[in-house]
Amino acid sequence: MDKNELKDLIEERNAKRKPMVKITFEDLTSFSINDHQYKMISDHNNSFDVHQFEMAFNSSFSKFDYIVGQLFDNQLRLRGFYEAGRDNADGPFIGQLNDILVEQLIFSDDIYIIQNLEPRPIPVPRSSSRRRRSRRGRQRNRRNSDNKNGGFKTTTTKVQNNEGKRKMVVKEKRKNGNHNFVIKENKKGK
């Protein structure tokens, strides 16, 4: 498949596509997308094409404060950016735009920036609850937290032999789950 066939397939796919948004212009720089207000901040080389924007835009961009459109090889690429002081936003931020363009080696003059005047709030991610962990994991953690020696309980006791010839000393006693381990040491009596 050569480059011309690929372009024909892309054009055919785009012809079948229906726009997901409704754009209404109030003036040259102010417009609404699905009844949300937007403002054109900059448009280099008049690269903003309404039809291309309608085809590329989807509702996930409504959470961003800024939408940057780049036209490269007659293909539109949209990216969303947050305002620097936005709550719960972890990036990318609009102040990083030049760094991102240089990093990705995109030196296109066909770029425009649209500001979202009514951005959707960013949802706060919920932390996972301890209740959701498996029962087996809870039991294992409880067992390990009680026993600091790798899951073993250690006790030391002295046991004397009734004959008095030898003393049996329990050097170490360990318990791991249902298994008991006893280490004994023989000491000769005086």
Q: Is residue 44 part of a domain?
A: yes
- Same-domain check for residues 86 and 169: no
pLDDT band at 39 (very low <50, low <70, confident <90, very high): very high
Q: Confirm whether 127 is domain-assigned.
A: no
Residues 166, 98 within the same domain: no
Using one digit for the tens of pLDDT, what is the confidence trace for 131-187? Answer: 555 666 666 666 555 555 555 566 666 665 555 555 677 777 777 778 887 887 877
Identify which of 42, 182, 147 has the alpha carbon closest to the alpha carbon of residue 98.
42
Q: What is the pLDDT of residue 75?
A: 81
Q: How does pLDDT run across 84-97, given as a tens digit for each residue? A: 877 776 777 777 77
Q: What is the pLDDT of residue 57?
A: 87
pLDDT confidence of residue 40? 92
85 with 159, same domain?
A: no
Q: pLDDT: is 63 or 159 the higher one? A: 63
| 89: in domain | yes
Q: Which residue has the higher pLDDT, 63 or 133?
A: 63
Q: Name the domain count of the chain.
A: 2
Percent of the chain with pLDDT over 90: 3
| Pair 104, 159 in one domain | no
- Look up tokens 């962990």; give the residue: 133
Higher pLDDT: 168 or 36? It is: 36
Domain-located, residue 164: yes
CB 111 within 8 A of CB 71: yes
3-state secondary structure of 166: strand
Residues 99 and 18 grouped into a single domain: yes
Residue 9 belongs to some domain of the structure: yes
How far is 82 from 95, CA to CA, in rounded Å? 9
- The answer to whether residue 135 sits within a structural domain is no
Say if residue 161 is in the same domain as residue 97: no
Does position 110 have pLDDT exceeding 90, yes or no? no
Looking at the structure, tell me whether residues 106 and 156 fall in a common domain.
Answer: no
Tokens of 96: 């990083």
Return the CATH number at 48: 3.50.4.20
Q: Tell me: pLDDT of 99 over 60.
A: yes
Q: Length of the chain in residues, anyone?
A: 190
Mean pLDDT, range 24-34, rounded to an integer: 88
On whether both 9 and 74 belong to a single domain, the answer is: yes
By residue range, what is the domain housing residue 14? 3-116
Residue 103's pLDDT band, with cuts at 50, 70 and 90, is low
